[in-house]
Structure 1
Amino acid sequence: MPMLHEIKVNQRKNISLATLLTGLVSLSVLLNLIILLIASYQSSKKSLIDTTLALNLTNASKMSQTIDSLFKSMRSSLQYSANTFSNISFMNADAIYSKLELIRNSSNYFNSMVWVDETGLIRDMSPGTHSSAGRYITSEAAKTALALQKPYLSKPYAASGSGNLIVFMSEPIYDMDGTYRGYIGGTIYLEESNVLNMIFESNPTDEIGSYFYIVEADGRLLFHRDTNRIGEDISANHVVRKLIRGQSGHEEMVNLQGEAQLAGYVLVPENGWGVVVVSPVGVVYDQLNNHITSVLLNMIIPFSILLLVVIWLARKLAKPFVALADLVSKIGKEKVEVPEMKHHWNREADLLSKSIRYALSDIKKQTDQLTHDATTDPLTGLTNRRTLEAIMHRWIEESISFSIIIMDIDRFKTINDTYGHQAGDKVIQHFAKIITSTVRPGDVCCRFGGEEFIALISHVAIDEAFFVAERIRNRLEKSVNPIGRIITVSQGISHYSSHSVSAEELVHMADQALYKAKQSGRNRTIIAEKKAGIIS
């Protein structure tokens, strides 16, 4: 009797094979689900942060190049004007004032122009309403320019009275005998209307909170979305300190307000300013959390079904079940190929094998969907910027001739302001359909950002690309659109390899042509000018 009682106790303590297998497989499925989520989270986090950093660095570089080119153009304009003033003794006062007015109004580079003779006397000034003609210069920047007798660019300084920041640029004047006759100078008001401010305001904060700011060489803010901060010393900022040392790059940083940000920063060679483009880290994590939540919701149903099937089959299977559990345990740790369908002699084991294949296929489907989302613009369904750049580099590596058409809807901000952003989105979608229906099936259409689009037209010469661009422009202008009024587009074109063999330079040249189209009155297509040394 005691021995019989001991056997019954041991039986109660032992776990049945079906229960053991049910517990082990259930735990394995749940753990692998967690591992998949963690792996997806870490991979997506790195991808989002790296992409945001690279994009911010690209935007900062683009802004830096634009400002650098602008200041070089300003310097060239002053040099040309100084040469015309070399025979100043033969010019009367009205002619001098008219020339200053012409220089100021023709380019919109400078808010005011001044001619100072070698004694420091202001001989004339434009605009005349603020003229100090007949007085001697008093500002330190003006005195420094006079003393140097060579090209000069001042650090930003506060204007007397208004306190607005000013940058002063000058070019010396020498007469026909080489005698120093003073200088011609231009002032740039950083807080008033001019070309520089137009560039600043054309790069607004985007929908995910990214923005940019400009600092001078000593760390003082020259431009910021919060205008109250202009003139503030932020040299204690980690990224700004690197710019002061002449460094450019991208990194995760914490600003002076304690906000974690992803920053791209680039130095402007011509004037020593720094451009910083930042995105809040919190926005990246919000996107990441939404992605993981979506993945979890899509996976929970098939995994729940799988778990119920495993619990039922575990009571009837032994050996086949072990092999399947081993397969599931590898998910998330290494690349797993979905095995070929093999029918088991046991009906229950055969059903379980099919369920595992279904789960693995669903994971692959989710991964494919993520890949599609990462390469497609959600509003238009066109290729996004990242994919466009990859295609361009691949075509360049394969020496495929192609043209780039950059398109920008004219006065799109007015459309948004007048009809609302929903109507603006419909206009963007409408234009995207016109582009895709105009180009060939093998060509690439991309929404480059905001109202800006790019088309890559392969195996065509520049004149053929021009005709494609004109068809797009005409179709948009004549089309029935969502807002019921004429919509136009300005376009710039560059060609590989007649314009450049660099993808970045091709985009830059097409963008410059687009800028010329805008400046020339909009609703037109302009081909980029070829650089010296480039052979068609």
Structure 2
Amino acid sequence: MPGPVRAEPRPRKKLSLTLLLMALVTLVFLLTTTILLIGSYQSKKKSLIETTLNLNYTNAERMSKTVDSLFLSMRSSLLFSADQIANLGAVPPAHIDAYLELTRNSSNYFNSIVLMDSGGNVLNNSPSDLGMAGRRLSFPEIKEMLRLKNSYLSAPFIAPSTGRMLFLMSEPLYNKDRYYQGQLVGTVYLQDYNILNMIFGNNVIDESGSYYYIVSREGRLLYHPDISRLNDDVTNNRVVAQLMQGKSGSMQAVNTQGVSMLAGYSSVPSNGWGVVVVSPADVIQQQLRMHLNKILAYTLIPFVVLLFCVFVLAHQLAKPFVVLADLVNKIGREKVELPELKPHWNREVDLLTTAVVLAWKDIQKQTDQLTQEARTDLLTGLTNRRALDNSISQWIAARVPFSVIVLDVDKFKFVNDTYGHLAGDEVLRRVADILVSNIRPGDVCARYGGEEFVLLLPRTKAENAYIVAERIRKTLEVTEVPLPMTVTSSQGIAHYPTHGRTREELLGRADEALYTAKHTGRNRTVIYGE
């Protein structure tokens, strides 16, 4: 009885050369556009960040110069008044009160001005309703300025009596005989009406999210859009830390609220304060999105025109390639070695054939290169960890006895931290050269990670491996390196199968021996268990 008739499989629908060319052009366009967009994105991003940082730094520097100029003017005004009062002689207190009132109202530099003697007793004050005349002031800032008997500028502090933030600026009073008479003290309440508050008190966040703030030399907020944050300790802010060191510049940093900001900052020489102008990094992303959308809009119409032209040309050029397409289709049905392809009379077919051969060879070359790179440490040229683990696994599977030497460069973190990573890389290369020059053909030398190296010595006992390790250690100790120090190493040795029967166990025992060498003084070799 005949079996059932099997239905013929339906032939797959083939793609025409026209469609393939259009798809190829589309793909090329998309890839090119993607590359251009990525390049444009990165370039624009870098440009926007640099521009924003430079702009913020320029604004911060301009504002810091304004603050510096104001403080110099305040100091000059106070100094002039102190000299005048010191040389007035015996005059009625009312005259001095009037002079202090004139000084205070003529500039709006100070909220109040107090004249005190060398013992801290208030002689005169402005405004007159301050009611401090006759009182003796003894809080720390007053004591310090009386002790110094010189120009003085206090750190901003909260007044115990009013709960408001202020700072003191004073000048000493010396008569013509250079006899110290006391201090002329100007007080500035940061949130009250004065020249500083007029300039910096109306601090708001603009529509882009940018704003500025001012910090004291102790790292506390003096002016900020959020009034509730005034006097907050912001020393953890990287920008503020730079200002506390008297530095100026710009950087991208995360503020104490966890927001990434582009900051320009400038230190004020006359008082140690710092001015910071910041813009949120999100603003850059918004501008970048607008930039990319504009590029896409400009490229869409040219792409449609290009695609139509490709369709017309591909339809006219499709026929000459049918034969070659059939040949390629047959070759692709089974896995075969690329045959020797002779030159063809058709120029297009010949060019495509040549391109196929070149592409095949190039792919093979790149594959071989990638295989080699996958097994090699780029810095030292030694075998990498993956290849090392494969070697250990293979030797264990074949039950080949061998010794493992784990070498670690002593105090390598100190080298990197002190002399830089380039110097550290050079030390690692020198170590690698010494290892290679001290091993036999068939031995495996690998960089295991960081400053740690591993040697595999097949058919070598631990005692013989110790001799090799000591030779390496002593060679490294006397080898000149481009550093003003001697580079040493600590080494641990384990043996298969004596100390372990698995890769993890063996390397663990060698590491334990290495740690023993480290903890017993470094620059030595230790065999596990000895």
Question: 2:138 maps to which residue?
Answer: 138
Residues 1:198 and 2:198 are matched in the alignment:
yes
Deviation sequence 1:211-263 (CA, Å, 0-9, x none): 01111111111111000000111111111111112222111111111101101
Structure-2 separation of matches of 1:59 and 1:261: 15
Q: Secondary structure at the match of 1:138?
A: coil
Aligned pairs for 1:13-24 (under 5 A) are 16-24=16-24
Q: Is the 8 A contact 1:26 1:310 kept in 2?
A: no
Q: Does the C-alpha gap of structure 1 residues 293 and 13 become closer, same or farther in structure 2, counting only changes over 3 Å?
A: closer
Structure-2 separation of matches of 1:129 and 1:34: 72
Structure-1 separation of matches of 2:289 and 2:26: 26
What is the Cα-based RMSD across aligned positions, in Å?
2.5
Deviation at 1:27, TM superposition (A): 1.7
Aligned pairs for 1:37-436 (under 5 A) are 37-201=37-201, 204-317=204-317
Deviation at 1:37, TM superposition (A): 1.8
Q: Is the 8 A contact 2:214 2:275 kept in 1?
A: yes
Structure-2 separation of matches of 1:104 and 1:230: 26
Deviation sequence 1:12-35 (CA, Å, 0-9, x none): 898654344333222212222222
Q: Secondary structure at the match of 2:256?
A: coil
Q: Secondary structure at the match of 1:219?
A: coil
Further displaced range: 102-111 or 237-246: 237-246
Deviation at 1:41, TM superposition (A): 1.4
Deviation at 1:138, TM superposition (A): 2.3
Deviation sequence 1:356-380 (CA, Å, 0-9, x none): xxxxxxxxxxxxxxxxxxxxxxxxx
Q: Is the 8 A contact 1:29 1:307 kept in 2?
A: no
The residue type paired with residue 243 of structure 1 is L
Deviation sequence 1:302-329 (CA, Å, 0-9, x none): 212322332232211479xxxxxxxxxx
Q: Does the C-alpha gap of structure 1 residues 203 and 222 become closer, same or farther in structure 2, counting only changes over 3 Å?
A: closer
Q: Is the 8 A contact 1:26 1:311 kept in 2?
A: no
The residue type paired with residue 197 of structure 2 is N
Structure-1 separation of matches of 2:254 and 2:90: 60
Deviation at 1:86, TM superposition (A): 1.9
Q: Is the 8 A contact 1:113 1:184 kept in 2?
A: yes
Q: Secondary structure at the match of 1:315?
A: helix
Structure-2 separation of matches of 1:42 and 1:175: 66
Q: Does the C-alpha gap of structure 1 residues 218 and 41 become closer, same or farther in structure 2, counting only changes over 3 Å?
A: same
The residue type paired with residue 92 of structure 1 is P
Q: Is the 8 A contact 1:237 1:255 kept in 2?
A: yes
Q: Is the 8 A contact 2:22 2:307 kept in 1?
A: no
Structure-2 separation of matches of 1:317 and 1:109: 85
Q: Secondary structure at the match of 1:90?
A: coil
Q: Secondary structure at the match of 1:177?
A: coil
Q: Is the 8 A contact 2:49 2:262 kept in 1?
A: yes
Structure-2 separation of matches of 1:101 and 1:129: 11
Question: 2:391 maps to which residue?
Answer: none
Deviation sequence 1:179-228 (CA, Å, 0-9, x none): 11111110010111111111214664332111011111111111110000
Structure-2 separation of matches of 1:85 and 1:96: 8
Q: Secondary structure at the match of 2:247?
A: coil
The residue type paired with residue 195 of structure 1 is I
Q: Is the 8 A contact 2:203 2:224 kept in 1?
A: no
Question: 1:427 maps to which residue?
Answer: none
Deviation at 1:49, TM superposition (A): 0.8
Structure-2 separation of matches of 1:236 and 1:203: 22
Question: 1:431 maps to which residue?
Answer: none
Deviation at 1:105, TM superposition (A): 0.4
Q: Is the 8 A contact 2:156 2:166 kept in 1?
A: yes
Q: Is the 8 A contact 2:264 2:276 kept in 1?
A: yes
Q: TM-score, normalised by structure 1?
A: 0.56
Structure-2 separation of matches of 1:122 and 1:13: 103
Structure-2 separation of matches of 1:12 and 1:260: 55
Q: Secondary structure at the match of 2:171?
A: strand
The residue type paired with residue 77 of structure 1 is S
Deviation at 1:152, TM superposition (A): 0.4
The residue type paired with residue 23 of structure 2 is G
Q: Is the 8 A contact 2:21 2:310 kept in 1?
A: no
Structure-1 separation of matches of 2:12 and 2:130: 102
Q: Is the 8 A contact 1:124 1:131 kept in 2?
A: no
Structure-2 separation of matches of 1:250 and 1:130: 43
Deviation at 1:288, TM superposition (A): 1.0
Structure-2 separation of matches of 1:300 and 1:162: 66
Higher radius of gyration, 1 or 2:
2
Question: 2:337 maps to which residue?
Answer: none
Deviation at 1:110, TM superposition (A): 0.3
Further displaced range: 67-76 or 197-206: 197-206
Q: Secondary structure at the match of 1:172?
A: strand
Structure-1 separation of matches of 2:31 and 2:307: 12
Structure-1 separation of matches of 2:224 and 2:203: 11
Question: 2:333 maps to which residue?
Answer: none
Deviation sequence 1:243-301 (CA, Å, 0-9, x none): 11222211111111110110111111100011111100011101111221122123222
Q: Secondary structure at the match of 1:109?
A: coil
Q: Secondary structure at the match of 1:53?
A: helix
**Identical columns (%):** 50
Q: Is the 8 A contact 2:203 2:225 kept in 1?
A: no
Q: Is the 8 A contact 2:251 2:263 kept in 1?
A: yes
Q: Is the 8 A contact 2:156 2:165 kept in 1?
A: yes
Deviation sequence 1:103-151 (CA, Å, 0-9, x none): 1000100000010012221100000111210111122212211121110
Q: TM-score, normalised by structure 2?
A: 0.56
Q: Is the 8 A contact 1:68 1:270 kept in 2?
A: yes
Alignment length, in residue pairs? 314
**Tell me, which stretches of 5 or more residues in structure 2 are unaligned?**
1-8, 320-530
Question: 2:410 maps to which residue?
Answer: none
Q: Does the C-alpha gap of structure 1 residues 201 and 158 become closer, same or farther in structure 2, counting only changes over 3 Å?
A: closer
Q: Secondary structure at the match of 2:89?
A: helix
Q: Is the 8 A contact 2:203 2:223 kept in 1?
A: no
**Tell me, which stretches of 5 or more residues in structure 1 are unaligned?**
1-8, 320-536
